[in-house]
Amino acid sequence: MRSTLRIVVALGLSVAAGLAMACSASAPDLQQVAPSVASDAGNRTGQEVFASTCAVCHGSEGEGVEDWKVRDEDGRLPPPPLNGEGHTWHHSDGVLYRIVSEGGLGLGFGSNMPSFKDELSREEIVAVIEYVKTLWEGKEIDGFLILDSQRELSVGDPYPGGEPGE
Ligand code: HEC
């Protein structure tokens, strides 16, 4: 009886170790592309934050990756375009803030979008989202400006602690 128990425990431990290895084997991918924090973090412009922190995944012009709708083998989506060609403008300021602050995992879905709340100040998160919105200028869907549509959405869900379009 004793030895059976020991075998079961040992088996359990090796399964756990295998899982841990599987997890740490996939983790470095994210680490490699994780943004470095500039020494003057805290008061950079949205464009500076975008270039140093977001462009590595979302592209220097926010164009995203080509096959951004195709999930990988883990069911995760690649970085989408943020330049108005995707559906980023379907999200209110509050939702966009939470995506950047908490990351996809923080919001409870399997995702490779990192959390930036430990790296970016509230002002920088707002600034980078406002910068992203400048990429939407003049873009229309079905005859309406996506900027107007997103602004309306944000009235009911502004940036935390701020006003829409701040
Ligand atoms: C490590 C790569 C990576 C970095 C760096 C990154 N993102 Fe993302 N981002 C993603 C991925 C992948 C998704 C798609 C998440 C999903 O749908 O699961 C995403 C999604 C988003 C979305 C939701 C877009 C939509 O159309 O729904 C926003 C907004 C966003 N990112 C903004 C940013 C901003 C702003 C930065 C810089 C502060 C940034 N991201 C940095 C990978 C990254």
**Parts of the chain with a pLDDT under 70:** 1-42, 162-166
Does a structural domain hold residue 77? yes
Q: Give, for ligand 1, the residue of 31, 37, 57, 71 to mutate: max count of ligand atoms closer than 8 Å to Cβ.
A: 57
Tell me how far apart the alpha carbons of residues 8 and 106 are, in angstroms, rounded to a whole number: 34
pLDDT tens, position by position, 71-119: 999 999 999 999 999 999 999 999 999 999 999 988 888 899 999 999 9
The alpha carbon of 58 and the centre of ligand 1 are apart by a number of angstroms equal to 7
* Angle between helix 122-134 and helix 93-106 axes, rounded to 10 deg: 110
Same-domain check for residues 23 and 89 = no
- From 49, 66, 67, 113, the mutation candidate for ligand 1 (largest count of ligand atoms within 8 A of CB) is 113
- Joined together, the tokens standing for residue 11 give 């088996």
Contacts of 72 (CB under 8 A, 6+ apart): 78
Q: What is the domain-level CATH number for residue 125?
A: 1.10.760.10
Q: Which two tokens stand for residue 123?
A: 């002002």
The Cα-based distances of 139 to 56, 76, 92, 146 in angstroms read 24, 28, 17, 6
Determine the distance separating the centroid of ligand 1 and the alpha carbon of 131, expressed in angstroms: 14
DSSP state of 161: T
Q: Is residue 114 part of a domain?
A: yes
Q: What end-to-end distance do the CA atoms of the chain give, in Å?
A: 68
Tell me what pLDDT residue 11 has: 40
pLDDT value of residue 24: 39
The confidence score (pLDDT) of residue 84 equals 97
Q: Are both 29 and 80 inside the same structural domain?
A: no
Domain of 65, in residue numbers: 37-155
